Amino acid sequence: MAESEAETPSTPGEFESKYFEFHGVRLPPFCRGKMEEIANFPVRPSDVWIVTYPKSGTSLLQEVVYLVSQGADPDEIGLMNIDEQLPVLEYPQPGLDIIKELTSPRLIKSHLPYRFLPSDLHNGDSKVIYMARNPKDLVVSYYQFHRSLRTMSYRGTFQEFCRRFMNDKLGYGSWFEHVQEFWEHHMDSNVLFLKYEDMHRDLVAMVEQLARFLGVSCDKAQLESLVEHCHQLVDQCCNAEALPVGRGTCRPAPRAPAPSLPASSRFPGPILPLPGPESGFSLISPEPSVPQGERKKATQERATEDPGSPCCSQPVTLHRVQSSRWGGCWRGSVSGSLGKRFSGRHLLRRPPAWQWVWGCGVEEHRACTQLPRAPAGSRGLCEQGRLPLFPRGGSHTGEVQRIPGKGCVCVSVVYVLCVYVRGVCAHTGCVCVCTHVRE
């Protein structure tokens, strides 16, 4: 039996059927039916577009661009979901109608090939930042992503996945054409072509390049501070291999395929609609805040006490927070991002919406029964937890209701908190439910 057949419970045919073809390019299912609207999407001169083939370090680029363009504080970025600032053009949430209404300057992300992007972009009407990554690393990252993606449930071998990659049989089509097409436009005045590896090799040069491209004027001191802040963002990286030897807090660890789990610990099939609305739940005492300087120490201690876990500069200590302070929604979408450890003080000062935190300690809730739970603070291996929309934070499901005159209320939002290690959800936290009204 061929290895792909032996190791792919969801058959190759089933896997294929998850995509659809558009002008010969394999696209994820959520792109279906909107490609024409995307082609005609109205672009503004003030827009900044970030375009990549998936797993090219998009999130990191988003954060750096946000920081350079908005002069934001990296701690603020850690407290927000960067996807809130950069909606993805082709995703179901927030959707094209909402992106059209966003106030300027908009930051918009897409993985679509150049030729499928809004035609206004081809006319040079707004700035496009493209980032390419070494395909050898990218394909490993994409493989891990497919394995952890519940909707894809990829169970083939890496070898088989590589064959798909080489034969342009993955979502967003051919990496080769993707990069080639953008490279053909790298001299266009509205296009900046970057490489992921350069970000690690020479961040100063990249920040300078970005600042010039975005028309951000800064003196030497401001530039140094920007670079320092960008370093902080890069250092949050979990990919030890991507870092030059000796940099960052990560210990290199061999990348192993995610181990299979017993069926009982897997997420059940489609997540059922949740009962709602819920009224939030009681405060679980926040832990004291951890000063910035202590973080590295905490991470190192964690690495020492947990030799089985690949390194990660994200602290993996489970925190207890009052979830109603951090839950939120964004005009119909709820999402999370790989959250930094944050403190009760932060929560009180500025309740960040869409923030994932490690562990909430809530175990008993009827809504939680629809997802497997881990006891508060427990840690265990799990392969799932990534959804295509929110690949960085864990798994979520929930309902969002619009209340006339009040905005959105998230009801029954269930979060499975995961600590990602090298792109794979390695530690589950627990499940919690939040209710939060956003005016």
Ligand X SMILES: CCc1ccc(OS(=O)(=O)O)cc1
Which amino acids are annotated catalytic?
A: 111
Q: Binding residue for ligand A3P (CB under 6 A) from 25, 60, 68, 107? A: 60
Q: Binding residue for ligand A3P (CB under 6 A) from 276, 328, 352, 423? A: 423
Contact flag: residue 137 with ligand A3P (CB under 6 A): yes
Q: Binding residue for ligand A3P (CB under 6 A) from 422, 426, 431, 436? A: 422
Binding pattern for the stretch 34-73 against ligand X, x by CB under 6 A and - elsewhere: --------------------x-------------------
Q: At its nearest, how many Å lie between ligand A3P and the CB of residue 80?
A: 14
- In single-letter form, the type of residue at position 99 comes to I
Q: Which of the residues 237 through 266 are near ligand A3P (CB under 6 A)?
A: 237-239, 242
Distance (Å, whole) CA 272 – CA 44: 39
Q: Which stretch binds ligand A3P (CB under 6 A): 136-144, 166-174, 284-292, 356-364?
A: 136-144
**Contacted entry of ligand A3P, ligand X, none for residue 238, CB cut-off 5 to 8 Å set by kind:** ligand A3P
Non-local (6+) Cβ contacts of 146 within 8 A are 152, 154, 161, 170
Contact flag: residue 434 with ligand A3P (CB under 6 A): no
C-alpha triplet 133, 137, 143: angle, nearest 5°: 115
Residue for token pair 């969801």: 10
- For the chain, the C-alpha Rg in angstroms (whole number) is 21
DSSP states of 395-434: EEEEEEEEETTTEEEEEEEEEEEEEEETTEEEEEEEEEEE
- In single-letter form, the type of residue at position 417 comes to L
Contact flag: residue 359 with ligand X (CB under 6 A): no
**Contacted entry of ligand X, ligand A3P, none for residue 359, CB cut-off 5 to 8 Å set by kind:** none
* Torsional sign, CA 199, 201, 205, 208: positive
Distance (Å, whole) CA 241 – CA 159: 20
Contact flag: residue 311 with ligand A3P (CB under 6 A): no
Contact flag: residue 135 with ligand A3P (CB under 6 A): no
DSSP states of 234-269: HHT---GGGSPTT-SSPPP----PPPP--GGGSPPS
Q: At its nearest, how many Å lie between ligand X and the CB of residue 139?
A: 13
Helix (H, G, I), strand (E, B) or coil at 81: coil
Binding pattern for the stretch 366-395 against ligand A3P, x by CB under 6 A and - elsewhere: -------------------------x----
**Contacted entry of ligand X, ligand A3P, none for residue 426, CB cut-off 5 to 8 Å set by kind:** none
Q: At its nearest, how many Å lie between ligand A3P and the CB of residue 415?
A: 19
Contact flag: residue 328 with ligand X (CB under 6 A): no
Non-local (6+) Cβ contacts of 61 within 8 A are 50, 52, 129, 131, 194, 196, 199
Could you tell me which of 49, 55, 67 has the C-alpha nearest to residue 206?
A: 67
Non-local (6+) Cβ contacts of 346 within 8 A are 79, 289, 352
Q: Which of the residues 147 through 166 are near ligand A3P (CB under 6 A)?
A: none
Q: At its nearest, how many Å lie between ligand X and the CB of residue 218?
A: 29
Contact flag: residue 87 with ligand X (CB under 6 A): no
Contact flag: residue 178 with ligand X (CB under 6 A): no
Going by the DSSP 8-state scheme, the letter that residue 206 receives in this structure is H
**Contacted entry of ligand X, ligand A3P, none for residue 322, CB cut-off 5 to 8 Å set by kind:** none
Contact flag: residue 57 with ligand A3P (CB under 6 A): yes
Q: Look at strands 424-438 and 407-421 and give their pairing.
A: antiparallel
Q: Which of the residues 131 through 160 are near ligand X (CB under 6 A)?
A: 152
Site residues, ligand X (CB under 6 A): 28, 54, 111, 152, 171, 388, 391
